Chains A and B, each alone.
Chain A
């Protein structure tokens, strides 16, 4: 699955989980209540569902790449955050191979990635993966 233009299998999530946001808030030591307190979300007029952390969306892009290349080694992940996800949102991550090359380290594959929720493109990014057995 290294040909330029090859689509990666879509990575899907039925609903962003508010409970996982709480654990991630602790791991990140992030005091922002928008990630765990619906009252704080309501107070700033952003609805009534906790707002997913940016690194969680980044992880979803990484998960799509890791699922496509389970034995590969992620060398680089770049993500641009264009919007936010809230608890309960459905997610799909799509990817396409944009390049591959042989380097001193082995064969690497580059992918462009998009995270969508409904009709919204929430994150865009790219990844570079070193394939196994190519050293």
Chain B
């Protein structure tokens, strides 16, 4: 089933544990610190969206074996993203645009917006990802 603009992503909540904060810095070529690496907001969005990555892509009509790709990502920090704080993750499909190209054949460019909100509902981080979802056999990441 093809996704449509405005479709909600299940959503959920996630807390960056102290050990994950340390490991995140180390995995991202950064000196461990109390303040999380900014890209851990991307991790928080992915971990807190309420379903696994495989299931998310499946809900958008794409199997992992089809080679869905992240083509663009924007992180914005209207607040302070911290470890040890539970954030509510909400997500929406913002747009879906059908394209075609030599490598992927026919594919959809899907833009999804994820928001990490604090206990008061204030946005702390916004993650906007653009994925290329192959729609023809033979397309490959």
Give me the interface of A with B, judged by CB distance under 8 Å: 13, 17, 20-21, 23-24, 27-32, 34, 44, 54-56, 58-60, 62-63, 66, 73-81
Partner of B71, one of A66, A77, A80: A80
- Contact: B140 with A59, CB < 8 Å? no
A63 vs B71: C-alpha distance in the bound complex, in angstroms?
20
Interface residues of B in 27-67 (CB under 8 A from A): 27-30, 37-40, 42-43, 46-47, 52-54, 64
- Contact: A27 with B38, CB < 8 Å? no
- Contact: A29 with B77, CB < 8 Å? no
Within the complex, the shortest CB–CB distance from A126 to chain B, in Å, comes to: 9
21 contacts between A and B (CB under 8 A): A20-B29, A24-B28, A27-B24, A28-B43, A29-B47, A29-B53, A30-B53, A34-B141, A55-B42, A59-B30, A59-B37, A59-B39, A60-B29, A62-B39, A63-B28, A63-B30, A74-B75, A76-B75, A78-B75, A80-B71, A81-B73
Interface check B120, CB cutoff 8 A: no
Given A79-B74, A81-B71, A56–B27 Cβ distance below 8 Å? yes
Interface size class of B (residues with CB under 8 A): 20 to 34
- Contact: B77 with A76, CB < 8 Å? yes
- Contact: B73 with A54, CB < 8 Å? yes
- Contact: B23 with A75, CB < 8 Å? no
Within the complex, the shortest CB–CB distance from B94 to chain A, in Å, comes to: 15
Within the complex, the shortest CB–CB distance from B66 to chain A, in Å, comes to: 12
Point out the residues of chain B lying under 8 angstroms from A24, CB to CB.
27-28
A23 vs B25: C-alpha distance in the bound complex, in angstroms?
11
Within the complex, the shortest CB–CB distance from A10 to chain B, in Å, comes to: 14
- Contact: B72 with A80, CB < 8 Å? yes
A56 vs B76: C-alpha distance in the bound complex, in angstroms?
17
